[in-house]
Amino acid sequence: MESKKFLIFRIILIVLCIISLGAIEYYQRTESKKEEIVVKKEKEIINEDTIIDMAKVYVSNHQDYFSEIIKEKDFEYRLNTDLLVKSKLIDNNDNYKGYVKIVNDEYTFVRSNNMLLDKINDKDYVSGINNEKNAYDIKYIYKGNDPKNYIRYENKLYRIIGITNSDDLKVIETSNSTEEKWGLSGDINYLKTEDGYEKNNKGIFYVGYVRSETNNIDLIMKNEKRNNNYTVVTPKLYAEYSYVNISDIINAADECSYYKITDISIDTCSSYLVNMLKGTYTSTAAENKMVFKVDDQGKIIIDKLDKNINVKKVKYISLLNEYKSGNGTLSSPYEIK
């Protein structure tokens, strides 16, 4: 009789435990749904503060990408608000088209409803190679002898070399600049002047050393980014402008045949880029403390540095700028507001 009572007691206890566990699970599910509703409501409440807060979350979630950018003083980076939607940090940016400007850890929303990014023709460029997903690696390249890659900026005409992961255009000025200083003969200190290095930071340029016998574009691009003894501390230059890379010249050609870099010419590696570079220096250092240059016949040679050299400046222009007009042709270059 006692054992029967004990059995009933155990059954009752088990039932009570099951009921309790069910109640706890129900409570947790209810609370979880409440939290989901709160989060959803917060995502639906989109204002400028939300955009900035979510931009900070996005940067925090992509530290590997942003580490080389946000640490540099006075360096400006623009984060497209479309990325906040794609990463599901906000439901939509219908009323907040534009970008978040990040400078010295300060975040500012800038409205841009008609960006150049949405107007540039994706049929005029091709996917790049050796894209290591760094901000200023080129993801798209303009190739051939006359692509539609003209853009007018600050009353100067440029051609677009490519589009970076940061949604910037890497552009080269069509006219030459003279009286530029790139150190003295035998001095590889890049863009060294009496006042020091360029301080108006606009982008990251790679100006590393490449041996002239290198015949592989992957190695050339990696060496341009690699630390070495021929450049100062690192070939990573934070600056407003630089000069063209050897890799840019190779990548711009539809076909490029060479056994060493000094084989490259307008005959072996024909493109709009090598054609416009005659008589100018590149940013790529060579052996014996010299640099690569395109001579007057359009052939790449190794030359010493002079006090005053002919160059074509290479800069970055943000695709997030407001589009004004143009289709990329010489007669109708892209223009921004």
Q: Where are the domains of the chain?
A: 48-111, 116-318
- Tens of pLDDT, residues 4-35: 555 665 666 666 667 666 666 666 666 655 55
Predicted pLDDT of residue 68: 77
Running DSSP on this structure, what letter comes out for residue 166? T
Predicted pLDDT of residue 72: 79
CA 224 to mean position of chain CA atoms? 16
Buried b (16+ CB within 10 A) or exposed e, 309-330: bbbbbbbbbbbbbebeebebee
Tell me phi and psi for residue 26, to 5 degrees. Answer: -60, -45
Predicted pLDDT of residue 4: 58
Predicted pLDDT of residue 176: 86
178-180-183 Cα angle (round to 5): 145
DSSP per residue, 217-240: HHHHHHHHTS--TTSSS-SEEEES
Do the Cβ atoms of 139 and 128 come closer than 8 Å?
yes
Residue ranges of the chain whose pLDDT lies below 70: 1-17, 19-44, 178-201, 227-234, 306-307
Residue type, 112: S
Stated length of the chain: 337
Centre a 10 Å sphere on the Cβ of residue 196 and count the other Cβ atoms it contains. 8
Predicted pLDDT of residue 304: 81
**Cα atoms found within 13 Å of the Cα of residue 7, Cβ hemisphere only:** 4
Whole-angstrom distance, CA of residue 237 vs CA of residue 188: 13
Biggest alpha carbon–alpha carbon distance for the chain: 112
Whole-angstrom distance, CA of residue 84 vs CA of residue 134: 19
Mode of pairing for the β-strands spanning 156-164 and 138-141: antiparallel
- Tens of pLDDT, residues 235-285: 777 888 888 999 999 999 999 989 999 999 999 999 999 999 999 989 888
Percentages helix, strand, coil for the chain, rounded to the nearest 5? Answer: 30, 25, 45
- The H or E element containing residue 146 is none
